[in-house]
Every structure is written in C-alpha cells, then in structure tokens.
Amino acid sequence: MTTSVTFATSDLDVRIVEELRIDGRIGRNELAAKLGVSRPTISKRLNALIESGRVHVVGIVHPSTIGLDALAHVAIAVDKPVRQVAARIAELHDVPYVSLTSGRYPLIAEIRTAGAARLAASLERIRSIDGVRETNTLVYTDLIVDIGRPDKVPVTHLDPLDVRLLGVLQDDGRASYTELAEAAGTSPGTARIRVKRLIDDGVLRIGALTGGQHETEVAVGFGIRASGSASDLAEVIKDLPGVNFLASTIGRFDLLGTVHATRLEDVVSSLDTVRALRSVLDLESWVHFRTVKERYNNVPVLSTIQEENP
C-alpha cells in the first residue's frame, strides 16, 4: 500500500521532473510509489507538465553516433527585439538549441549538423536573419559531456531498426512499445528488447528537458581560457556537481560548459571551484534566462545505413 504524502503542486512537479531526468520512461505506478502519492495524482500532474510544454521527455543520442560531426556554439548580438530574432533562429532545422542569455550576447544558439559545408551554410542562414547584428562562433572539437550524458557509439554499431527507433524516441521518449513498433515496422516485443539494449549500452539516454526556464532551476553557461592541456582540464571539470554539458572548442574559449542547479549558491560554488584550478587562465559566465528551443531530434544517418544494409 502506498503511503500518502502531501506536497504543494509546485513541489510535486519538481520531484516528478527530477525522476524523469533520471529515467524518462519510468512507469506511473513506480513514480507514484517513489514519491508517495496516488497514481491518479501522478497521472494528472505528469500529463499537465507534458501537455503544457513545460517538460519534454525525449531520447538523447550523442551527435557523433548519428552522424552529426559538425557542431558549433553561436553567440549572437541583435538590433531587433531578442525574442523575435530567437523565434526565427529556432525555426532552423540544424539548430536544436536557442536560449536568451545575459551579457554582451543576449542570444545563444547551437548548431548540430553533418559536415563543415552544412555548418557554414547554417551559420550563413543565422547571419541573414533580420535583427542579427553580430555572431561569435565556437566550433566544437570534442563534445565531452552532452545533455543526458549519452555515450559515443560508432554508426556501424546501429542497424536500420535501431535508427528508426531512435528517431521516434528523440521526438517522444515515452512512446509506448506499441507505438514504437508501428513506427519502426517491428513487433512490440522486439521494440522493447532493442530499446532496452540501446539504453543499457549507453547509446540512448531518455530524460526530461524543461521547456522554457524551469522556475526552480538555474542554468549558467561558462567559457574557459586554459593554459596547458585543455583535455586534462576537461577531465577534472566534467565530473563537478551540476556540469551537464562540456565541450572543447576553437575560438575565444578552449572549453565551453553549462552548470545546472536548483540554487544559485550551488552554481557559484561550482564556478569558484573551476576558477581555482591552476590551468584556468580566465572564466567568463552568463545566465540562461529562458530556453526558446531544446529539441535534439535529428537522425541523418538513417538513409546511409539503409543504403548500406538493404
């Protein structure tokens, strides 16, 4: 029997989101048992979070696994209302992330695409948008920690069925096995086995992304100029509390990262720890005010794999 515990609605929502970040496919019965509330209450709050767009439960795959080998962070200065410009940039297919930020550049976008030529074309499209005054680009040389921390897996380890399932889960991480089977052209049992293997192997991480900026969460980006080996420094930083994104880059920074926490004090503590590291020459940070877009749902290797494995 489940013991009933009383939460304020906002507190319960926070707890639900925390559990979904750990396991985006957690069942409603298990979620109710973990949080000590009834299943109808969990269903009501979970449905409200997802239907409102405050939470997206999606499958995250390391971009190199699905053939995205050209990645960049673009800081953007504007001369038109920033929300207007952000909305236009968010329409671009190769741009999975757009955020309103503090500092000199009030807008940040990320590009994930295949090949240098497509990356250059995406940058050109961003520059051509009315209201974009200036762009400052960091090209990733290695994505060390991605959202959800999926592992890098060679494309050759995936077959067409794997890729079809990944494509569905990148849009809806809580799709039922029946829905997955219908979309991927297989049986529910096979879909279940394949998805479990992809998760167990670390290829796929299913978790919650909060639409907009969640009211209980602080997200701060940071850029580092380093002396000596940036890769050695990254090994230290990647496991610090709250670091959920870290990349080595070419441009004005050697490393680029993001820290998430429920309290600003925790973010400050993490950044102070980074500043104290001997090889950190300089650290610049900015606050993410609002996430306009965060959807990592591009699987460009599908046609290639299908051609190689008819």
Residues 186-201: tens digit of each pLDDT: 999 999 999 999 999 8
Does the pLDDT at position 4 exceed 50? no
pLDDT tens-digit profile of 198-238?
Answer: 999 889 999 998 755 555 678 999 999 999 999 999 999 99
Q: Would you state the pLDDT for residue 299? A: 58
pLDDT interval class at 307 (50, 70, 90): very low
- Condensed to tens digits (0 to 9), the pLDDT of residues 57-112 reads 999 999 988 889 999 999 999 999 999 999 999 999 999 999 999 989 999 999 99
Q: What is the pLDDT of residue 152?
A: 82
Q: Per the domain annotation, does 29 fall within a domain?
A: yes
Question: Mean pLDDT lowest for which of 18-22, 166-170, 210-214?
Answer: 210-214
What is the pLDDT at residue 217? 77
Please check whether residue 72 is in contact with residue 110, taking contact to mean a CB–CB distance below 8 angstroms. Answer: yes
Buried residues in 278-296 as b, exposed as e (16+ CB within 10 A): eebeebebbbbeebbbbbb
Percent of the chain with pLDDT over 90: 72
Take residue 282 and report the two structure tokens written for it: 């300089």
The pLDDT value given to residue 2? 41
Q: Report which residue type is found at 99.
A: S
Domain assignment present for 122: no
Query: Is residue 23 in some structural domain?
Result: yes
Residue 268 or residue 152, greater confidence: 268
Query: Would you state the pLDDT for residue 153?
Result: 78
| Extended beta strands in 39-190, E state | 55-61, 70-78, 97-101, 107-113, 132-145
Report the pLDDT value the prediction gives residue 304, as an integer from 0 to 100: 47
42 assigned to some structural domain: yes
3-state secondary structure of 20: helix
pLDDT of residue 263: 85
220 contacts 291 by C-beta, under 8 angstroms? no
Q: Rounded distance, CA 168 to CA 271, Å?
A: 37
Query: Distance of alpha carbon 263 from its chain centroid, rounded?
Result: 20
Q: Is the pLDDT of residue 7 over 70?
A: no
**pLDDT greater than 80 at residue 176:** yes
Q: Which two tokens stand for residue 290?
A: 């609002």
- pLDDT on residue 262: 82
**How does DSSP classify residue 126?**
H
Q: Is residue 182 part of a domain?
A: no
Say if residue 258 is exposed, middle or buried (CB neighbours under 10 Å; 0-12, 13-18, 19+): buried
**What local confidence, expressed as pLDDT, does residue 298 receive?**
67
Residue 178 included in any domain? no
Within-domain flag for 14: yes
Confirm if 85 and 134 have CB atoms less than 8 A apart.
no
Residues 6+ apart with CB under 8 A from 44: none
Cβ pair 290, 215 in contact under 8 A: no
pLDDT, tens digit, for every residue of 255-300?
999 998 888 899 999 999 999 999 999 999 999 999 999 988 765 5
pLDDT at position 211: 59
Range of the domain at 42: 9-52
Res. 125 pLDDT band, cuts 50 70 90: very high
CATH code of the domain containing 26: 1.10.10
pLDDT computed for residue 1 by the predictor: 42
pLDDT for the residue numbered 223: 98
How many structural domains compose the chain?
A: 1
User: How much of the chain is in helix, strand and coil states, percent to nearest 5?
Assistant: 40, 30, 30
Question: Residue 26 domain-assigned?
Answer: yes
The residue type found at 132 is V
Whole-prediction pTM: 0.86
pLDDT of residue 300: 54
